[in-house]
């Protein structure tokens, strides 16, 4: 049985969603936000990826980013002091079921660290007391997780990511990225930062023996699997409408699964310091019994 440490819950409860690009992280985050909102939570989702597509299923469109509001005529990131509450309100949008939505954005390609841009956006939300002013009870940060550089690890250092969920699947590359995220969490926890992994969300790709692969990986690295999300055409059908499954198909089996995930997140009381593996060779060896 895994032994985690007690999760110290603040207001708002800050949940960070990490995961490999293309693993379904934003879809999972958006459906989680939608389900939590229907459970009575006051939710805000913040996309922390320069692609600014995290909240599109909640707002039904791509929205302007916070860093776009900070851009000068030269299109460089300006100072945090240059943003007022009025200007910030122009890039906070009301989505499905009154979920507040924002995108951090990022600098122009080749002009700066995207992770640094994410931190600027998060600092603005804090400085202008957005969570307090809007009575947010759940803040969900959807964070790019392919490369855990100093910039994208900074949200962990700054208290935005105490409770981390990693979206993964049974593909070895997904598990390698997950393992790299776990390395960052372990290192920062060892430096005294109050971070930990609450669980892995297995967003399945129909890999043979996928449930067993993810469960075995999780057992080896010392974190729980919080849920298995089966691959479903319902997700693609909802995306084609520009909506979450919760909104487009509220009575579907897939919607019920996202509600189950939300309940498990809501009920969670622990975070875990992981035991990441050395690299891909060890990952493959640990799951070799389930590979075909």
Catalytic residue among 51, 53, 183, 211: 51
Q: Which of 14, 49, 146, 186 is catalytic?
A: 146
Residues whose CB falls within 8 Å of the CB of residue 67, separated by 6 or more in sequence, listed in order: 77, 104, 105, 106, 107, 117, 120, 121
Residue 182: closest CA among 145, 212, 141: 145
Neighbours of 131 (CB within 10 A): 20
Q: Is residue 184 helix, strand or coil?
A: helix
Residue 222 to residue 154: CA distance in whole angstroms: 23
Q: One of 20, 49, 186, 227 is an active-site residue; which one? A: 20
Active site residue 20: yes
Tokens found for residue 26: 């934003």
Catalytic annotation present for 14: no
Cα→Cα distances 89→61, 69, 252, 264, Å: 17, 10, 35, 32
Pairing of strands 5-6, 138-143: unpaired
Pairing, β 270-271 against β 100-103: unpaired
Catalytic residue list contains 25: yes
How far CA 112 is from CA of 9, 71, 117, 141, in Å, comes to 34, 13, 8, 21
* Buried residues in 274-290 as b, exposed as e (16+ CB within 10 A): bebbeeeeebeebbeeb
HSE value, Cβ hemisphere, 13 Å, CA-based, for 95? 34
51 catalytic? Reply is yes
Contact between 166 and 16 under an 8 Å Cβ cutoff? The reply is: no
The one catalytic residue among 14, 25, 186, 243: 25
Question: Among all residues, which ones are annotated catalytic?
Answer: 20, 25, 51, 146
């Amino acid at each position: 049985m895994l032994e985690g440490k007690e999760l110290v819950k603040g207001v708002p409860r800050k949940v960070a969603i990490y995961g490999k690009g293309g693993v379904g992280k934003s879809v999972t985050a958006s459906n989680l936000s939608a389900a939590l909102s229907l459970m009575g939570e006051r939710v805000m989702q913040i996309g922390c990826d320069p692609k600014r597509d995290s909240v599109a299923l909640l707002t039904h469109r791509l929205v302007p980013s916070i860093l776009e509001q900070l851009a000068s005529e030269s299109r460089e990131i300006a100072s945090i002091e240059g943003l007022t509450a009025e200007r910030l309100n122009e890039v906070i949008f009301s989505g499905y079921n009154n979920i507040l939505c924002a995108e951090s954005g990022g600098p122009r390609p080749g002009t700066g660290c995207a992770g640094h841009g994410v931190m600027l956006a998060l600092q603005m939300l804090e400085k202008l007391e957005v969570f307090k002013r809007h009575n947010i009870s759940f803040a969900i940060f959807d964070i790019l997780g392919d490369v855990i550089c100093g910039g994208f690890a900074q949200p962990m250092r700054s208290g935005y990511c105490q409770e981390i969920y990693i979206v993964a699947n049974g593909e070895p590359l997904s598990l390698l990225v997950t393992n790299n995220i776990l390395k960052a969490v372990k290192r920062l926890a060892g430096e005294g930062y109050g971070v930990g992994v609450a669980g892995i969300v297995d967003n399945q790709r129909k890999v043979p023996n996928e449930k067993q692969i993810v469960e075995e990986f999780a057992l080896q690295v010392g974190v729980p699997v919080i849920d298995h999300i089966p691959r479903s055409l319902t997700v693609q059908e909802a995306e084609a409408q520009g909506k979450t499954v919760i909104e487009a198909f509220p009575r579907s089996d897939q919607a019920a699964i996202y509600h189950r995930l939300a309940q498990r997140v809501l009920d969670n009381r622990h975070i875990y310091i992981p035991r990441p593996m050395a690299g891909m060779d060890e990952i493959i060896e640990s799951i070799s019994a389930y590979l075909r």
